Amino acid sequence: MRPAPRPTTGRLNLTGYSLRATWRVLRTLPITHFPLILPGVHPLASFFILRRLKGLGFSSCRVVTSENGLVVHAHR
């Protein structure tokens, strides 16, 4: 018997990451100021964040994983 699927309402799940916060960052990454703190975002999103920043002309890009989410550093 399979367990019932959990609702994904954007609340923090058991792993501590929010599906809604991760999806929002992947769709519309704010690039107004750095370092950019992204609470609740899953570390797998860092690959896509770095790829988008490099495509937009940013250099020295890096994403640091913290216990609350991701911290993004970049220079134009």
Residue 2: what pLDDT? 55
Per the model's pLDDT, the better-predicted residue between 26 and 51 turns out to be 51
Residue 61: what pLDDT? 93
First CA to last CA distance, the chain: 53
Question: Where are the chain's structural domains?
Answer: 19-75
Residue 14: what pLDDT? 47
**The pTM is what?**
0.74
Q: What is the DSSP string of 28-68?
A: ----SSSSEEEET--TTHHHHHHHHHHHTT-EEEEEEE-SS
Residue 17: what pLDDT? 84
Residue 34 CB contacts under 8 Å (≥ 6 apart), including other chains: 72, 73, 74, 75
pLDDT tens digit sequence for 2-45: 555 555 555 545 467 888 988 998 898 888 889 999 999 999 99
Q: Helix, strand or coil for residue 22?
A: helix
Q: Which of the 8 DSSP states describes residue 6?
A: P
